[in-house]
Amino acid sequence: MTDKLYHECHDLIRQGRAVLQELQEWGFESVTVTAFEPTEPAAASAGKKTATAVSAPETLAELEAGLQGCQLCPLCQERKNIVFGQGNPQADLVLVGEAPGREEDERGYPFVGEAGRLLEKILFAMNLQREDVYICNVIKCRPPHNRDPEAGEIATCEQFLQRQLEIIKPRLVITLGRFAAHTLLQTAEPISRLRGHWKEYRGIAVMPTFHPAYLLRNPAGKREVWQDMKQVMQRLQG
Ligand code: URA
């Protein structure tokens, strides 16, 4: 896909999303999408089926299946695996990271590298295991050389995170790092100011905290993350 075509597609997606958002604000709960059928001469279309209703995926498995082979953005060119997410589909707690790194891309699961091992330690300290929670990322494919995700990539991919959260309906979400917090909370406030304060995403309580990869570089931040996790544990038990 050329850059120009990519940006045109991105604009169309953004416009489509704005229309849907407006419909939602008006109180519409669902929209039936009808497949586009080019007009054909009557003879050519005789005997063909017309419009097909396409409904939104109702389960994580359906959503993941629909993502296979995704080519919505250029990250598809270098990825080895789409890293959809992993864990309990009925979890009370969802953790949202940024994007897969090298090991995640190779194995197809989120947070299985060094940052993931630290995340597991944090969960362990909260008396939780990976299987108790659901873990996913804003971006489902690895950005080359682990660069930051670009705005267009986030805009294209965030719909899948949104649907994941709609399907799981967790009580709480922990956003790990600035990209997850900025994407879900639609803010540009620095993570150092966001962390530790309860926020809300579509009726779900959100606790922004530092990313485990940041903690690997700045271990002093662990104290603050632990303060944040204590708030999460309290609320989970409440
Ligand atoms: N960092 C992330 O944000 N997500 C992963 O899955 C791995 C590392």
Q: What is the pLDDT of residues 197-229, one digit of tens each?
A: 999 999 999 999 999 999 999 999 999 999 999
- What DSSP string runs through 147-182? PPPPHHHHHHHHHHHHHHHHHH--SEEEEESHHHHH
Burial of residue 5 (number of CB atoms within 10 Å: 0-12, 13-18, 19+): exposed
Reported confidence tier of residue 56, pLDDT bands at 50, 70, 90? confident
Q: Is 149 in the pocket of ligand 1 (CB under 6 A)?
A: no
Cα–Cα distance for residue pair 52/56, rounded to 1 Å: 13
pTM for the model stands at 0.79
Tell the residue number behind the tokens 């790990």, with chain if given.
176
Q: Which of 80, 95, 107, 111 to mutate to test the pocket of ligand 1 (most atoms within 8 A of CB)?
A: 111
| Shortest-distance atom of ligand 1 to CA 97 | 3
Query: Taking 90 as the threshold, does the pLDDT of residue 40 lie above it?
Result: no
CB 21 within 8 A of CB 28: no
The per-residue pLDDT for range 60-89, each reduced to its tens digit, is: 999 999 999 999 999 999 999 999 999 999
Q: What is the pLDDT of residues 136-194, one digit of tens each?
A: 999 999 999 999 999 999 999 999 999 999 999 999 999 999 999 999 999 999 999 99
22 Cα: distance to centroid of ligand 1 (angstroms): 32
DSSP 41-92: -HHHHTT-----EE----SHHHHHHHHTT--SSGGGGT-SS----EE-TT-S
> Residue 212 C-alpha to ligand 1 middle, in angstroms?
9
**Residue among 137, 174, 183, 191 whose CB has most ligand 1 atoms within 8 A, to mutate:** 137
Residue 101: CB within 6 Å of ligand 1? Answer: yes
pLDDT band at residue 238, thresholds of 50, 70 and 90? confident
Residue-range domains of the chain with CATH: 81-238 (3.40.470.10)
The whole-angstrom separation of Cα 132 and Cα 165 is 16
**Contact status, residue 201 vs residue 188, Cβ threshold 8 Å:** no
9 burial (CB, 10 Å; 0-12 / 13-18 / 19+) is middle
- pLDDT by residue (tens digit) across 83-121? 999 999 999 999 999 999 999 999 999 999 999 999 999
